[in-house]
């Protein structure tokens, strides 16, 4: 059914008299703002780690080997009081420190149910079926993951970065996306949505 101009006027008059705060409502609707969202992305030649590992899969354990891993990170969010999503310099320092923890180390997953991991004062002994590895403790980084796949490494790095960002008060962030490349053209990405928004920077419609 179509309303003529008389019907429209009558309808508006009825709404105006039914809703006491009609004019206030119209004012609020007219001033609705759009919350802008931004991304920053960092990938640098020094955000790398060279590490040894092995993966259990499909009833077997692959040979001990290593990769020259590369990382990249994207932060999403709204602008803070400094007009930043996050400071590039700080982000690079945090990522470099995380990569350094893994660099030139054997990556040992502590939550793999197929591995028997024992330790003494000097070493870790790792058994899988007929295989036995003995690694000096100073050469090992224990990671609370089930397998040292690129996916799980990206997940671990994402969690470590999130913890540090929270410590630095980065409440404006909405998502972290972490990429770990284990060889050229072959990478895994972990994306985590965050739920601790801070004050928004608004732009009018």
The residues carrying an active-site annotation are 61, 104, 182
124 within 8 A of 139, measured Cβ to Cβ: no
**Helix residue ranges, H only, 19-124:** 22-30, 88-102
Rounded Cα distance, 110 and 95, in Å: 23
According to DSSP, residue 201 is labeled: P
φ/ψ of residue 5, rounded to 5: -65, -30
Q: Of 83, 73, 94, which is closest to residue 172 (Cα–Cα)?
A: 83
Name residues whose C-beta falls within 8 Å of residue 97's C-beta, 6 or more positions apart in sequence. none
- Residue ranges of alpha helices (H) inside 56-183 are 88-102, 150-167
Lookup result for tokens 């980084």: 141
Do the Cβ atoms of 74 and 91 come closer than 8 Å? no
Tokens of 96: 């470099």
């Amino acid at each position: 059914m179509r309303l003529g101009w008389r019907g429209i006027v009558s309808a508006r008059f009825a709404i105006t008299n039914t809703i006491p705060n009609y004019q206030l409502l119209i004012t609020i609707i007219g001033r609705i703002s759009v919350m802008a969202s931004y991304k920053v992305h960092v990938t640098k030649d020094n955000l790398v780690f060279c590490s040894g590992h092995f993966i259990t899969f499909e009833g077997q354990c692959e040979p001990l080997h290593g990769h020259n891993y590369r990382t990249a990170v994207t932060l999403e969010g709204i602008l803070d009081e400094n007009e930043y999503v996050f400071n590039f310099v700080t982000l690079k320092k945090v990522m470099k420190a995380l990569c350094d923890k893994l660099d030139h180390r054997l990556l040992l997953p502590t939550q793999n149910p197929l591995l028997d991991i024992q330790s003494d004062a000097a070493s870790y002994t790792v058994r899988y079926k007929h295989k036995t590895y003995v690694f000096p403790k100073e050469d090992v980084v224990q990671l609370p993951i089930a397998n040292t796949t690129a996916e799980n490494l990206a997940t671990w790095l994402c969690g470590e970065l999130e913890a540090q960002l929270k410590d630095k008060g980065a409440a404006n962030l909405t998502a972290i996306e972490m990429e770990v490349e284990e060889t050229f053209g072959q990478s895994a990405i972990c994306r985590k949505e965050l739920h601790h928004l801070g004050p928004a920077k608004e732009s009018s419609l």
